[in-house]
Structure 1
Amino acid sequence: MSFLGKTYEHQRDENFKEFLDSPGIPEDFKQKILSMKASQKIEKNGDEYTLTTNDAGNIKELKFKSGVEFDENVFEKVVTKTTITVEGDVVRQKRVAPDGRSMGVERHYNGDEMILVIAAKDGNARRYYKAV
C-alpha cells in the first residue's frame, strides 16, 4: 500500500468522454468533469480511510471502512449505496443508484502511477494518473 498519502494527478483519459455520454448523466455535469484536472489521495487512520478528490478547488472527502457500505452523494440529488474495498494495491468501489443501476470503479496503483478503471452497463473507461 505504498500509494497511501500520495497525491495522484490526472494525466489523460481513454474512452472517458464516450462513457460520460451514457444515459442519466446531466450535460452540465459532463462538461464540468471533462474540463477538470482532478487529483486524488487516499489516507488511512486506524481502520478508516479517507479518499480525497480535488477537482479545481472543489474538494470532496469520502470517509470509509474497507468493505462497509455507506451513502455517497455522487452529484446533485443522486445518492448511491457505495462500498469501497482496499485489497493490496487495488481499491475497488461499487456504487448502486436508487434506480438499481450500478457502476464499478477500480484504482490500480503501481509505483507512481494509478489507473482508474470505470465499468458500467453502458460502457467502460480508463483515467490515468501520476503521483506528484
Structure 2
Amino acid sequence: MAVTCKKISLRFPRHLADRPVVYHLIKDYNLELNILKATISSDGGHMVLELRGSRSDFDKGIEYLTKTGLIIDTLCREVTRNEARCTDCGACVTVCPADSFVVDPLTREVAFDEEKCVVCGMCILSCPSRSMELHF
C-alpha cells in the first residue's frame, strides 16, 4: 500500500469554524495528522496540517474537506536557506512559530531545520540578508 504524506493549508470560513474537521479526518478517513499551525476562532481561521495515510484514504479525506467548504491549499513549496548569504544574525529565530531555527550557544551560528518548517514565510520577511528563499 502506497502511503501519501503532504502538508496542506486549510482556511475556515466563519460558518465552518465550529466543525469537527480534524476528528473526521482521523476517525472516518484513517488519516494520521500533525497540526503544524492553527488559529481558529468564531470568526474563521487557518490551519496547517501534515496528513499521512493510504492514497485512497488521503483522496477521500481531501474530497470530504472540499465538500465541507473549506479552502484547501497544498503546500507544494518549501523554504530553504542560501548558506552563502546567511550572516547568522538570528532575525529568523525570533519570528519562527515552528522553532525551525536554533542558535548554537558556542559558535552563535543559526541552524535551520527544514523538517519543522511550516512555510509561513515569516523568516523570509524578517531576513535582512535575504538568505531565506521560497521554492515552489
TM over 0.5: no
Larger radius of gyration: 2
Q: TM-score, normalised by structure 1?
A: 0.26
Q: As a proportion of its length, which structure holds more helix?
A: 2
Structure that is richer in strand per residue:
1
What is the TM-score normalised by the length of structure 2?
Answer: 0.26
